[in-house]
Amino acid sequence: MARATRTILEFDKDSVPLFEKLRKVLRGEKGDLTNKEAFMIAVSWGVHFNVRADSIKKSGTGPRLEYLSESDNALLAAAHFAFAKSPEGLLDLNAIHSSAELFAEGGIRLLAEEMSKPGNFPDSFAAAVFEVIAGMGPLPVTEG
């Protein structure tokens, strides 16, 4: 597997204020969201709605890789797999990270649009999450 050549996952330069807004509007366990939490949410939105930017303008701002947990990395791998459709893609860590940035950009645009609508954004956000939860079905029985 190729080694990571970067230290952060970057927000698009133009989207930095949007991430800032998302951090303030949604609540984390300790108040405002961290960069990493906002980034992971944006990625998941991009993946779920299959919206991935073609490119991003580097901003130098974003979550540091060292803050990503094993689970975060697994989710980012799943995100990249959703795009690459091939397990070979998982061998390229840089590609996984780039893919995450592009999905994050796609996701933050969708979230920004939602945030700009009248009404309670956290409620519509929660409604989208609950819709997915409702469609998850029963817990798969794992063997072994």
The residues binding other proteins (CB under 8 A) are 1, 26-29, 33, 37, 40-41, 43-45, 47-48, 70-75, 77-79, 81-82, 87-88, 90-91, 122, 125-126, 128-130, 132-133, 136, 139-140, 142-144
Residue among 60 and 123 whose Cβ is closer to other proteins: 123
The Cα 42–Cα 19 span in angstroms is: 8
- Nearest approach in angstroms of CB 116 to other proteins is 19
Query: Would you mind telling me the total number of residues written for the chain in this entry?
Result: 144
Q: Which is nearer to other proteins, 29 or 54 (CB)?
A: 29
Write b or e for each residue in 58-82: b if 16 or more Cβ atoms lie within 10 A of its Cβ, otherwise e. Answer: eeebbbebeebeeebeebbbebbbb
Alpha helices in 49-92 (DSSP H): 70-84
Shortest distance in whole angstroms from residue 21 CB to other proteins:
14
Residue with smaller CB distance to other proteins, 9 or 26? 26
Which amino acid does the sequence have at 64?
R
In this complex, which beta carbon is closest to other proteins, that of residue 13 or of residue 86?
86
* Side chain identity, residue 20: E
